[in-house]
Structure 1
């Protein structure tokens, strides 16, 4: 083995030791989370409502209904998940914390209330993102481990790549009829090779969800350094008189306008800023529970005047890339096929630290046996021998 390959092997091995446990945890939780929407739809009846042709109840009505149960609470986010799905008002209550209040969007009937920290898949997500540590510390540990894991995958390809054409067939297939150590070796190398491309994509999109520097890097790279001022500007109320105009609440007028201008949208998110200079934001998503392809609207929270409009078709390549980060990360950008691919790649990544450790331990044990055998076959000379 050349000195270059020895250096690569050293990096591959020790980076694996350092990150193995974190990579295993992050990969397993990623597997579980891939199909969380499908599993929750099958388990929880409140995630579906009877479809009606009539209009949704206004967001102000849903907000008032939710806050009746939490007099001291505030509500800044309202979701309309789809025609056959509930609406949800996110209520912040000083003592209880964040509460999701699900209700029928046509009748206003509350169907379920949930603290997200008690939801199994939210807990899985927190483990995936933070290892259940404080977010700043946990995200840093996970982020560094993921970056090192990308280096591990790259060094693994360098070590695995067959030198001769005659070795390629053997390198791309698993010898299932071989001894268990050979099968383990092939599982580590062959499956690791097939998963590398997808694993790197999952790693990059995961980092971009957690870290602003990665998100900014993707944005700037996709835009080739071109500046899009409108996308970087956070609109604020410019009303001189900070008094809400009479008539319909601004969030109701804003939501009605967005429904008219984005009629094909299936899901809506409404955000009302509490700050004096804040605004009302409404995002119209093309598909339920998918976060790619969205039209973004911002309105003055006092007058209701539109301050900004960013349709999907006019967004920069960088903003479109960042919009699709979540959908790529969980595989749903390609539908159920994409989720199966993301699940499979995550499962393989979870197994790599274990199969890699077995390979290292086996070689170490074999090396110790050789050393021990050498001592027995060539014992040191005894100066008293023969006396």
Structure 2
């Protein structure tokens, strides 16, 4: 056991000095992004929010249909009201985004600095701003953080404090630098072990989602229904609510190398707590359904992986969950700093 403990210390040390730094960047950017809906909505209220805060579904549908009729050949994507955005946004073939009033279909403007800032922030969070390989760096560091860094830290904490758990969670604020750094490191690591585990585990999904789905596939008891494939889809029905809780969220139009239409639905438009339920319908130009998924009929593996985002950002538990994830985002940086200081102080002492 002592040999295993020695190996765990080495693993925890060197992964903490490398993977811990990447986790710090992801944590800080993720913590900032937690409040993106509220911040952007407050800054760009004239672009994103109606004066009375209400969304008349019928008028939204009419405005959406008008934009499609006027710009059909120039459209790449269209996003209906969702989360912080109550207006309708359109992405044209050139990649430019414009916002339209959901009632009058009047042009409101393009992307603002606040919107672009949070898009860049999310880009750094997901791939460090490095094209192609960045997402693999972030995704791999998340998996390593989950499998080895957190687990080795928990093992070492348990070995040192199993006879006195309260001591393992206490901090002697008047202690000398080395002891203080160690106390902060081991206490925060233990207190935030569960939320950090959730963040790291779900964070890896966005890079390695196929492996996650395959792994959870062992829980499937039946193949999901595909009875919709081949049926004719009435595009007029795409703009209406398809059930008591599904709302049209986005339309993806045919583009270069892709002749398909994709319609994405969500079970609620606002930022709220609870499970994330979605529905997607993909059709060809002849309105034949070639792809279909619905949370209510999906396989269990699909239902589980569909919740990765709401767990990752804390929305599964509502406002309190988001606060917990926000605070947890700063913990990897604190652990990195205290761990590095403890290592340097111990090395200097030796």
Would the TM-score normalized by the shorter structure come out above 0.5?
Answer: yes
Instruction: Tell me the secondary structure at the aligned position of residue 360 of structure 1.
Output: helix
**Equivalent residue, structure 1, for 2:263:** 281
**Equivalent residue, structure 1, for 2:238:** 254
Instruction: Tell me the secondary structure at the aligned position of residue 313 of structure 1.
Output: coil
Q: CA deviation at 1:238?
A: 7.3
The aligned runs of 1:154-169 (5 Å cut-off) are 154-162=151-159, 166-169=163-166
**Equivalent residue, structure 1, for 2:251:** 270
**Equivalent residue, structure 2, for 1:314:** 297
The aligned runs of 1:129-140 (5 Å cut-off) are 129-134=126-131, 136-140=132-136
Q: CA deviation at 1:83?
A: 11
**Does the CA-based 8 Å contact 2:48-2:87 persist in structure 1?**
yes
* Compared CA separation, residues 165 and 203, structure 1 to 2 (3 A): closer
Cα shift readout 1:298-349 (whole Å, capped 9, x = no counterpart)? 2645565667764433333222222221111111111110111111111111
Out of 1-10 and 274-283, give the one that drifted further: 274-283
**Equivalent residue, structure 2, for 1:208:** 205
* Compared CA separation, residues 3 and 129, structure 1 to 2 (3 A): same
Out of 99-108 and 163-172, give the one that drifted further: 163-172
Find the aligned partners of 1:201 and 1:52 in 2 and give their Cα distance.
34
**Does the CA-based 8 Å contact 1:22-1:142 persist in structure 2?**
yes
Instruction: Tell me the secondary structure at the aligned position of residue 93 of structure 2.
Output: strand
Between Structure 1 and Structure 2, how many residues are aligned?
342
Whether 2:29 is the aligned partner of 1:29: answer yes
Cα RMSD (Å) of the superposition?
3.3
Find the aligned partners of 1:83 and 1:6 in 2 and give their Cα distance.
49
Out of 298-307 and 340-349, give the one that drifted further: 298-307
**Does the CA-based 8 Å contact 2:178-2:346 persist in structure 1?**
no
Structure 1 segments unaligned to the other structure (5+ residues): 240-248, 368-387
**Equivalent residue, structure 1, for 2:319:** 336
Find the aligned partners of 1:117 and 1:42 in 2 and give their Cα distance.
10
Find the aligned partners of 2:16 and 2:278 in 1 and give their Cα distance.
42
The aligned runs of 1:118-129 (5 Å cut-off) are 119-129=116-126
**Equivalent residue, structure 2, for 1:345:** 328
**Equivalent residue, structure 2, for 1:88:** 89
**Equivalent residue, structure 1, for 2:139:** 143
Find the aligned partners of 2:199 and 2:84 in 1 and give their Cα distance.
31
Q: CA deviation at 1:127?
A: 0.8
Q: CA deviation at 1:229?
A: 4.3
Find the aligned partners of 1:200 and 1:159 in 2 and give their Cα distance.
16
Find the aligned partners of 2:162 and 2:270 in 1 and give their Cα distance.
48
**Equivalent residue, structure 1, for 2:66:** 61
Instruction: Tell me the secondary structure at the aligned position of residue 164 of structure 2.
Output: helix
Cα shift readout 1:17-55 (whole Å, capped 9, x = no counterpart)? 222321221111111111111111111111201436461
**Equivalent residue, structure 1, for 2:343:** 360
Find the aligned partners of 1:88 and 1:138 in 2 and give their Cα distance.
28
TM-score for the superposition, normalised by structure 1 = 0.77
**Does the CA-based 8 Å contact 1:238-1:300 persist in structure 2?**
no
TM-score for the superposition, normalised by structure 2 = 0.85
* Compared CA separation, residues 305 and 142, structure 1 to 2 (3 A): closer
Which is bigger in relative contact order (C-alpha 8 A, separation at least 6)? Answer: 2
Structure 2 segments unaligned to the other structure (5+ residues): none
**Equivalent residue, structure 2, for 1:40:** 40
Instruction: Tell me the secondary structure at the aligned position of residue 210 of structure 1.
Output: coil
Find the aligned partners of 1:84 and 1:207 in 2 and give their Cα distance.
28
